[in-house]
Amino acid sequence: MSRVGKKPVTIPAGVTHKVDGQTVSVKGPKGELSFRVHDEVAITVDGNVITVAPRSQSKIARTNWGTARAMINNIANGVSKGFEKKLEITGVGYKAAVAGKQLQLSLGYSHDVNYGIPDGITITTPKPTEILVAGIDRQRVGQVAAEIRAYRGPEPYKGKGVRYEGEFIFRKEGKKK
């Protein structure tokens, strides 16, 4: 039994929802998102509460049950509060700046890395060594943050590179004489 799927999703205040067959549409102050639930999962609406249940005990129904509940919860929270990921840049001369629809990264290469900011995502740099990725779609926010981090991931010897806020980097000892 799914522990995640058992919990009902409470829609926050100020957010409207509509269930049309297997499609759940949610509209809030930050925007509108929709999600198509797998056919093996049943959706029931009772006021501001959406409940998800498997239609049968097949493996596909049980695996999509918790996923459907989590996705509905994420879109409901996304249109009301939004999501954000914070990245930290560590290293001498490593910095970031936003210029128009481009994120310019100086990461120790012979050239600057330019990352085009996708639609629906806002990237800000409160400090030159901090990047804040925000948006209403949790998956896209995480994907953009992962793509930025992939340009120069943190290395284990000096810890230089781009890391998530609070991420622990296992440090290695350098060469011995």
Q: Each residue of 110-144: pLDDT tens digit?
A: 999 999 999 999 999 999 999 999 999 999 999 99
Domain boundary at 61, 80, 99, which? 80
Domain boundary at 27, 55, 80, which? 80
Q: Can you give the residue range of the structural domain that contains 10? A: 3-80
What is the CATH classification number for the domain harbouring 41? 3.90.930.12
Report how many domains make up the chain.
Answer: 2
Q: Each residue of 135-177: pLDDT tens digit?
A: 999 999 999 999 999 999 999 999 899 999 999 999 999 888 8
One DSSP character per residue, the chain reads: --HHHHSPEEPPTT-EEEEETTEEEEEETTEEEEEEPPTTEEEEEETTEEEEEESSSSHHHHHHHHHHHHHHHHHHHHHHT-EEEEEEEESTT-EEEEETTEEEEE-SSSS-EEEEPPTTEEEE-SSTTEEEEEES-HHHHHHHHHHHHHTSPPPTTT--EEEETT-----------
Is residue 117 domain-shared with residue 59, that is, in the same domain?
no
pTM of the model: 0.88
Domain boundary at 52, 80, 108, which? 80
